[in-house]
Every structure is written in C-alpha cells, then in structure tokens.
Amino acid sequence: MTKYSYACRDYPEMEDCPGEVAAATEEEVWKLMELHAVAAHGEDPSQWTVEDRAFLQTLIGSE
C-alpha cells in the first residue's frame, strides 16, 4: 500500500519545525497538513494561494 507523507521542515524557513504527517491517501495528508498549519503556525489554509498549494504538492512524498 502506498503511503503519503509531508515534513514541515522541507518548507523554506520551517527547517526547525518537527511536524510530520503520513497517511494512506494524499487527501488525508492535505487535511493533516492544514491542521498542523493552524495548530502549530497559526496559519489559515484558506488563505493559501494556488501557488502555495502547488509548491506544497511538490513536498508530498509517496512510498
């Protein structure tokens, strides 16, 4: 089964953040990424631009 993951430290200027998420689907990873952004960084994912989301997509890995 494919597993998808994201590590916040891979995002520029977030190198010190230990947040990582992993799930069975990309959709789950996106939800977890958004929850992490709110809880850990006080961000509002609804404010992410199309460009932000496109870049974040490049950081989602699969194995």
Domain boundaries, the chain: 4-62
How do residues 35-45 score in pLDDT, each as one tens digit? Answer: 999 999 999 99
Instruction: Indicate whether 2 pLDDT > 80.
Output: no
User: Taking the model in full, what pTM does it have?
Assistant: 0.91
56: left (phi over 0), alpha (psi -120 to 50) or beta: alpha
| Dihedral-angle region of residue 17 (phi above 0 means left; psi in -120 to 50 means alpha; beta otherwise) | beta
The proportion of the chain whose per-residue pLDDT surpasses 90, expressed as a percent, equals: 95
